[in-house]
């Protein structure tokens, strides 16, 4: 079993704490189009998960299934891992964190797990 497979097996079923931030409106749609992926309701950039992975997410204001559509830039990856940052599409972030949430990571703790 390769390292990526081992990480996937370990991650299945376990809830992982993170902090949500959001992309500006419309940005994730462009990312999805650039990658040749369909636009879905909830999209996330994650520093360690493979693009195309689906995760379940619970936030203070709601839940969502999100597709990993982007990843952290190389210069941001380690910081995102250390701060447990997950970047969501604008409307999805509002669903998870609340309509009045202004985007501060400390104000939107979430948990996520890989969707089976």
How far is 64 from 75, CA to CA, in rounded Å? Answer: 28
Angle at CA of residue 79, ends 52 and 57, nearest 5° = 40
Helices (H) and strands (E) in the chain, counts: 4, 6
Per-residue confidence at 12, pLDDT binned at 50, 70, 90? low
Domain boundaries 3-114, corresponding CATH code: 2.40.40.10
Q: Give 44-83 pLDDT, tens digit per residue.
A: 999 999 999 999 999 999 999 999 999 999 999 999 999 9
Q: 2 pLDDT exceeds 90?
A: no
- Residue 103 is predicted with a pLDDT of 86
User: For tokens 């604008």, what's the residue?
Assistant: 90
pLDDT tens, position by position, 26-48? 999 999 999 999 999 999 999 99
CA dihedral for 36, 21, 93, 8, sign (positive or negative) = positive
Q: What is the mean pLDDT of the chain?
A: 90
Q: What is the pTM of this model?
A: 0.85
pLDDT, position 6: 44
């Amino acid at each position: 079993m390769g390292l990526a497979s081992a990480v996937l097996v370990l991650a299945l079923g376990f809830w992982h704490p993170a902090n949500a931030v959001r992309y500006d409106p419309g940005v994730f749609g462009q990312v999805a189009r650039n990658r040749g992926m369909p636009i879905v309701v909830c999209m996330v950039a994650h520093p360690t998960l493979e693009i195309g992975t689906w995760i379940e997410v619970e936030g203070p204001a709601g839940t969502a299934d999100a597709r990993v559509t982007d990843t952290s830039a190389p210069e941001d990856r380690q910081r995102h891992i250390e701060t447990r940052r997950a970047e969501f599409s604008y409307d999805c972030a509002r669903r998870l964190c609340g309509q009045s949430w202004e985007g501060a990571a400390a104000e939107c703790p979430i948990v996520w797990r890989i969707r089976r």
